[in-house]
Chains A and B, each alone.
Chain A
C-alpha cells in the first residue's frame, strides 16, 4: 500500500474530535488499518502516556510509516508502545528508534513487525531501560553475525535466526536473565555459523543442543546437580530409595506439569527457582518428603464411584494428613512447608460469581497445617478440629480421611461449586504431587495386569554409549553432554601375530628383562641403623655400647625396622587409531605402517608391564564428528595379558579423526576406579587433536588441555608419547611437561617401554 505525504487522508469518522484530527494529520500515514484503529488507539494512548509524551509517540509512528515496511510495524507500535512506555519510561523511545534506524540499514528491516509485536512482552520481562539497551545490542549482534554476507562484511540476505529470537524472547526471558539469553544466543551464532538453516532451528529451540544449552542458562536449583544429595536424603530419612526422574517445565506451555510418583519413581521438575524464601533444594526436599510419606502412609482407593469434587476433597485431606505426619516426624520442615503452602485470603473468592471449591479446600489444608491460620469460617475450623482429633489417636489412614472429606464436602457445599469459572489464585500447593497413585480404577484392572505381565523383550546392547562434556575455551564453560562416545570390544585377530612381533625384538626383550628384574619389588625391606624401629639392631647396639664404654660418643641409631615395598601403580594406555596411523613410516626402509609399529611397541610394553605385575588397560580411540566418538576396548584392568587381549591388539585398524579429550575422560573414568597410589595414563598419538566437524584448530586442543587438567585433579597423571616430530608446540600446550616426542618412529618399540620404565622407576 502506498504511503506518501501527498496521498489524501482517509475518511474521517464523523464523531472524531478536532484534536484527534490534528494528531492524525501529524501522523500522516495512509495505511488503511492504521487509519481505522487510530482514533481508539489514540484515546487509549493518551490515557496511558499523557498529553506530553504524545507528540514523540506520534512522530515515532510517523517515522515507522515512512520506512516502507508496511502497516504492521506501525500498528504494532501504536498498540504496544503505551505498555512499553509504562514499563520502561518514555526515555526508551530514543533507544528503540536508534535501533530501528540501524536495523533498517541492513537486509533485516522486515523484522520490525515481529519486533514491535513482541516488544511489550519483552519490555515487561526486561523491566529496565538499561536492560532494553543491552537486549537491542544483542539483537544487533545476532543480526550482524547471522545474516549471510560477502567477506563477512556485506550482508546480502536477511538473517533467519533474528526473527526467531525476537519472537521467542519474551517466554525465554521469563526463564533466564538477559545474560543467560546472550550466552545462549552467542553459542548458536558461533556453532552454527556456517549452517543458517540449523542456526534458525537453534534459535527456534528446535534442536536438542539448543534446549540443553538453554537449560544450562536457566536460573535456579538444578535437580541434576543435587540428585545424589536428594537420593541420600530419601534413603537416610525414609529408608526408601526411589529413582528420581526429571521433567522439564521450560518447553511445556500448554499445561504446567506437577510432580508425580509412578512405578518408575518420583518425577520432579528439572529446575526449581527459590520461592518465598525457600531455596530450590529445600523445595525438592519437601516434595520428596511429601511423596515418600505418601508411599509410606497412603493406601490407594477405588476411584470409580467417587465424584470429581469428592476426589478433590479426599486428596486435599489425605495430603494434609501426610503433611501432618511428615511434620510430626520432622518438625524442622514446618518452616519451609508453611512458607510454600499458600494462604488464601478468606474473603478473596466471591461465591456468587465463581466456584470457590479450590479456595475452600486450600483454606482447610492451611488451617490444618498452620495453627495460626486465623480463618473464621466455622465449618473450616470445625473440620480442622475433627481432623486433629483423628490424628491424635494415631497416624489414621486414607479411608478415614475419605470419610471425613465426604462429610466436609456435604457440610461446606455451595451452589456455585459447579460454576465453570473456578477461583485459582493462591490455591496451588507447589510441593505436592498430583496424587495419581491415590486412585485405582477397578474396571481397568484386567488391562493393567496384562500390561505388567508382558515383559519387555531383552535387548543385548551392542555398545555402551556415554555422553561427555566438551570444554569451550571461548566462553570458558562446558558444553553439556556434547560428545557421544560409543564403547566397543575390539574385534579379534590372531594372537600368534603378537607373539611373532615379540620374537622380532628378542634383543630388546632380553635387555628389558634385566631392567625389570631390578624394578620388580622385593616384598619386605629391612631398614637398619635407625633411631626408631621395631627391633633392636644388635650389631649396631653392641657397637654403640662399646663406644659408650670407651667414653666416645655413642650412636643412638641402634634399631631396625621393616618396610613393606610394593609398586602401587595402575596404568592405562590409550592408542590413537586415527586414519594417519595407517600411513607408511616416512624414511623407513620397509613398507611398515605406523600402526604396525605401534602394535609392536604396545606388545613389548604390555609384556613388560605384565612382568612387573602392575594392573594395566589398553584401549584405542578415534572419532567421526562429535556424534560418533569410538572407544575400542582392547584390554581391561582385570583381564590377564593372554590370548584374547593379544588377539584384539593384533586386529587394530586405523580410521577417522582424533578427538582426544573425550577419550582421555573415558579412560580416566576407568582409571579412577583403580585404588592405587599412582595412576598413569599414557597416550600414544601421531598428531594433534582434530575432528572434521571442528574448524577452529584451538578448540579441541583447549578441550584436551581441560581434560588433562580434570584428570590431574583426580590424581591421574597423563603422559603423551607423540610420533609427530613437530608436535612440541601443541603437545606442550596440552600436557605441560609430561610428554615425550619420538622423532624416529621406527624406534618406537624400543622407546615406548623405556619411557614407561623411566616414568615409573
Chain B
C-alpha cells in the first residue's frame, strides 16, 4: 500500500468515456498480461490518449504521462540531481517513478522528443526490464506492474520526426484512425450532448477537410476538434461561429483552404 500511495495522484479514479472502434481493448489486455511494450499510432486527436487512459482505469494501474517535446532530455525521463538546503538530492524522473513503483508510463508523441533522449527507454523494453541510473549509480529493476506505452503520429512527413528502427522494433502496435462516421457522431452526441441532427453535419465537414490532407492541410480535422466544436454548439454558439473557431482557424492559415472550408460550412449549415 505504501507503494500505491506514491503514485496515488496518477491513478485514474473515474471511468473515462471511451468508445471502442474494434477489439483494441481485448488486445491491449493481452499485451498487458505479458507486459509487452505498446505503441499507439494514429493522427492527432483520434483518441490515442483517451484509449490509454481508459486502459489504465480498466487495469487499475496508475498512469504516468509524459508529454514529449524538443527540449525534453534523458534526465527528464530518468531523473536528476537537484540542490536543496543540505546538498544534492536525487529526483526520480517519470520513467523511473513508473518503473520503480509499478505504473503505466505513457510517453505521448514520442517523436517530438530528440532521438537521443528516447534511447533511454531501450533497456526497459526488452527482456531485461531494468533501468540503469548511471548518474546515481543505481540499477532499477522494473516493478512487475510496470508497462511502457508510447504514442506516435506517423502523419508528420518529416524525416527528422520518425522513430529509429531500433526503437520501433521494441513495441507492439495499435493503429488508430478517425472513427467511422456513425461512431464519430455517437461520440459527439455522448461527449457534448449536441443535437443528434447536427452531429452528422459536423462529421461531413470533417470528412471534407480530411480529404484535403496533403493538398494544403497537414492534418484533417480531428475528433478532438469536432468535440470542441460540438460542445460550443451544444452551448448555443451558432454553427458557423463554432466551426470557424474550433475547426478552421486552428487548422490552417492558408487562404484558399480557409475559403474552401468556410464554403463547406456555408453549404452544410444553411
Contact = CB atoms under 8 A, between A and B. Distances in A.
A638 to B, nearest CB: 14
B156 to A, nearest CB: 13
B261 interface: yes
A442 to B, nearest CB: 36
Interface stretch (B37-45, B187-195, B210-218): B210-218
A232 B257 contact: yes
Interface stretch (A112-120, A331-339, A600-608, A621-629): A331-339
Contacts, number: 64
A536 B81 contact: yes
B73 A237 contact: no
A285 B263 contact: yes
Interface in B213-270: 215-216, 256-257, 259-261, 263-270
B219 to A, nearest CB: 14
B81 A235 contact: no
Contacts of A534: 71, 73, 75-76
A534 to B, nearest CB: 4
A561 to B, nearest CB: 8
Contacts of A541: 83
Interface centre among A226, A228, A329 (most CB of B within 10 A): A228
A233 interface: yes
Contacts of A670: none
A535 interface: yes
Given A331-B270, A332-B267, A535-B75, A236 B261 contact: yes
Contact of B263 (A233, A239, A329): A233
A26 B256 CA distance: 67
Contact of B212 (A236, A329, A330, A334): A236
B49 interface: no
B264 A237 contact: yes
A229 B256 contact: yes
Interface string A335-376: 100000000000000000000000000000000000000000
Nearest to B83: A541
- The dominant DSSP class at the A interface is helix
Interface in A519-574: 534-536, 541, 545, 558
Contact of A332 (B212, B260, B266): B266
Given A330-B268, A334-B270, A534-B75, A236 B208 contact: yes
A182 B74 CA distance: 70
B241 to A, nearest CB: 15
Nearest to B214: A235
A558 B269 CA distance: 58
A233 B212 CA distance: 9
Contacts of A232: 212, 215-216, 256-257, 260
B59 to A, nearest CB: 33
Given A332-B267, A334-B270, A535-B75, A236 B260 contact: yes
Contacts of A535: 73, 75, 80
Nearest to A558: B83
A235 B266 contact: no
Contacts of B208: 236-237
Contacts of B265: 332
Given A229-B256, A535-B80, A536-B81, A235 B267 contact: no
Contacts of B71: 534
Contacts of B259: 229
Interface in A200-245: 226, 228-229, 231-233, 235-237, 239
A365 B205 CA distance: 29
Contacts of A233: 260, 263-264
A229 B73 contact: no
Nearest to B70: A564
Given A331-B270, A332-B267, A229 B80 contact: no
A652 to B, nearest CB: 35
Interface centre among B71, B87, B211, B269 (most CB of A within 10 A): B211
Contacts of A545: 83, 87
B83 A236 contact: no
A541 B261 CA distance: 55
A127 B40 CA distance: 70
Nearest to A285: B263
B209 interface: yes
Contacts of B209: 236
A244 to B, nearest CB: 13
A545 B82 CA distance: 12
A231 B256 CA distance: 10
B211 A536 contact: no
A145 B160 CA distance: 62
B267 A239 contact: no
- The dominant DSSP class at the B interface is helix
A229 B262 CA distance: 11
B46 to A, nearest CB: 19
Contacts of B268: 330-332
A331 B82 CA distance: 62
Interface string A308-342: 00000000000000000000011111110000000
A285 B81 CA distance: 63
A545 B260 CA distance: 61
B256 to A, nearest CB: 4
A538 to B, nearest CB: 8
A65 B207 CA distance: 74
B117 to A, nearest CB: 9
A662 to B, nearest CB: 26
A333 B267 contact: yes
A235 B215 contact: yes
B211 A228 contact: no
A236 B73 contact: no
B264 A239 contact: no
A545 B208 CA distance: 61
B256 A236 contact: no
B121 to A, nearest CB: 17
Contacts of A285: 263
Nearest to A562: B73
Given A331-B268, A334-B270, A545-B83, A235 B73 contact: no
B248 to A, nearest CB: 12
Contacts of A235: 211-212, 215
Contacts of B270: 331-332, 334-335
A545 B83 CA distance: 9
A541 B83 CA distance: 9
B204 to A, nearest CB: 8
B267 A229 contact: no
B60 to A, nearest CB: 34
B137 to A, nearest CB: 15
A332 B239 CA distance: 12
A535 B204 CA distance: 49
Nearest to B265: A332
A289 B208 CA distance: 14
Interface string A231-269: 111011101000000000000000000000000000000
A676 to B, nearest CB: 13
A330 B270 CA distance: 8
Contacts of A335: 270
A332 B82 CA distance: 61
B92 to A, nearest CB: 15
Contacts of B83: 536, 541, 545, 558
Nearest to A334: B270
A231 B263 CA distance: 13
Nearest to B212: A236
Contact of A536 (B76, B80, B267): B80
A239 B268 CA distance: 15
20 contacts: A228-B256, A229-B256, A229-B259, A231-B215, A232-B256, A235-B215, A237-B208, A237-B267, A289-B267, A329-B204, A330-B268, A331-B269, A332-B265, A332-B266, A332-B267, A332-B268, A332-B270, A335-B270, A534-B71, A536-B82
Given A232-B256, A236-B261, A534-B75, 5 more contacts: A232-B212, A232-B215, A233-B260, A239-B207, A545-B87
The 9 closest A-B pairs by CB, nearest first: A330-B267, A236-B208, A534-B73, A331-B270, A232-B260, A332-B267, A229-B256, A332-B266, A332-B270
